[in-house]
Amino acid sequence: MTKEIMKQVPWIPERPIVIMESLTVPGRLTMFGEVFGTDGYPILAVLELNPKGGKGYVDTLTIVNAYTKKSVKK
C-alpha cells in the first residue's frame, strides 16, 4: 500500500459502500469504500467501535487494519 493510498483509508468510514460485521472478531466492523490499491483491488478497512460507558452510543471509532481484499475485483 502506497503512502497516497494510506492517506485515503480514513475516508472509508466517512463514505462506506459496504459495511459488514467481522466474522473473526466480535464487535468489529469491516467496510469497503471507494479506495483501491495499486493493483485495482478494493481496500478493506477493519474498525473497532468503543462504546462510551454503556450510554448506547459510540465514542471512538478506530481503524485497526486496512488491506487489499483480492477476492473482490473493481
- CA distance between the termini of the chain: 16
Please tell me the predicted confidence (pLDDT) of residue 18: 95
Determine the residue type at 49.
Answer: L
Percentage of the chain with pLDDT > 70?
84
The most distant pair of C-alpha atoms in the chain lies apart, rounded to whole Å, by 42
Q: What is the pTM of this model?
A: 0.79
- 73: number of Cβ within 10 Å: 9
Averaged pLDDT score across all residues of the chain: 86
Q: Is residue 73 part of a domain?
A: no
The list of the chain residues with pLDDT below 70 reads 51-59, 72-74
Task: Please tell me the total count of domains within the chain.
Answer: 1
| Residue 51: domain span | 3-68
pLDDT at position 71 is: 76
Q: Which pLDDT does position 6 carry in this prediction?
A: 94
Q: Do the domain assignments include residue 27?
A: yes
Helix (H/G/I), strand (E/B), else coil: 45: strand
pLDDT at 61: 79
Confirm if 50 and 59 have CB atoms less than 8 A apart: yes
